Amino acid sequence: MKISKILNNNVIVSMKDDQEVIVMGRGLAFNKRVGENIEEDKVEKIFTLEDQDITKKFKTLIADIPMEYMELSEDIILFAKQKLRKELNDSIYISLTDHIHFAIERYNQNLPIKNGLLWETKNLYKEEFEIGLEALNKICEKFDVILPEDEAGFIALHIVNAQFNEDMTNTVDMTKVIQDVLTIVKYSFKIEFDESSLHYHRFITHLKFFAHRLVRGEHHRNGQEDDLLNVIINKYPDAYQCSLKIKKFVEKQYRYKLTEEELLYLTIHIERVVKK
């Protein structure tokens, strides 16, 4: 591979298989010029990003932020992919690296930021929050900085973003929607959820996708028969009444109208999660 552009001493842009790649390695571009061959033994990481807009932002980011932050971010992202067994949108390489860099700067300036959604994040995104806690350990090991638990929550939300390919604003809105629905169910049935149960886990998963559709203004439709909803209404009247409360709330609060299919699945999940 040849050097197409030098971003800094450790990062260059090149071409591989007719696709632009970003190549990282300590001293990779030191005393080098555009057009020269890359020293393969110095290559530590090659990034191939599909989205051109993300690639452009990525170049800007790594030109301004020390390489150690990108290495740490990639380590956390790899850990997240392995734990979640999911792919994450490439945008997380930008958002997470930038966030960690900014968080450490704030720490050094004694300017901590409180996470207003910490409780919700810990309870709604348990796996992602565990990744956030491990990320704090990795940050401490690399930079000798002990960041507060609030930052584990912020990192968790960045990982949620990357799963749903959303920006932080939509993820915050999704989190609020999920918490609002859980509150309505909790007080309608005067219960405390068994957060270790499989039904609770399935309900949270359902609500994540429901909230994702809501913030995007999309609806779930697959041609479900109306007769099935009537059966469910008769079989689970209390759960259905709770679903109607949720329907009324989201219409007023978010101007989102639930379809009959959404009412159907919401009722089924509510019945299962409240069933003793």
Q: Domains of the chain: which residue ranges?
A: 1-48, 51-164, 168-274
Tell me the C-alpha distance between 241 and 214, whole Å.
20
| Amino acid at position 69, single letter | Y
- Please tell me the distance from the alpha carbon of residue 232 to that of residue 264, in angstroms, as a whole number: 7
Under a CB-based contact definition with an 8 Å cutoff, are residues 220 and 259 in contact?
yes
In the chain, % of residues over pLDDT 70: 97
Buried b (16+ CB within 10 A) or exposed e, 15-26: eeeeebbbbbbe
Domain range 1-48, CATH architecture: Roll (2.30)
What CATH code is assigned to 51-164?
1.10.1790.10
pLDDT at 26: 83
Amino acid 272: pLDDT: 94
Q: Do domains 51-164 and 168-274 have the same CATH topology?
A: yes
Dihedral of the CA atoms 23, 24, 25, 26 (nearest 10)? 130
62-86 residue pLDDT tens: 778 888 898 899 899 999 999 999 9
Return the pLDDT at 223: 56
Q: What pLDDT score was predicted for residue 222?
A: 58
pLDDT for the residue numbered 224: 53
Check: pTM over 0.75? Answer yes or no: yes
Residues 6+ apart with CB under 8 A from 85: none
Residues 6+ apart with CB under 8 A from 241: 188
Contacts 24+ apart (CB under 8 A), 66-73: 67/8, 67/10, 67/11, 67/24, 67/26, 68/142, 68/143, 69/97, 69/100, 69/101, 70/24, 70/97, 71/44, 71/45, 72/100, 72/138, 72/139, 72/142, 72/143, 73/97, 73/100
Q: pLDDT by residue (tens digit) across 243-253?
A: 999 999 999 99
pLDDT for residue 192: 93
* CATH superfamily, with its number, for domain 168-274: PRD domain (1.10.1790.10)
Predicted pLDDT of residue 276: 59
Regions in the chain scoring below 70 on pLDDT: 220-226, 276
pLDDT at 242: 97
Cβ burial, residue 89 (10 Å; 0-12/13-18/19+): middle
**DSSP symbol at 118:** H
- Amino acid letter, residue 233: I
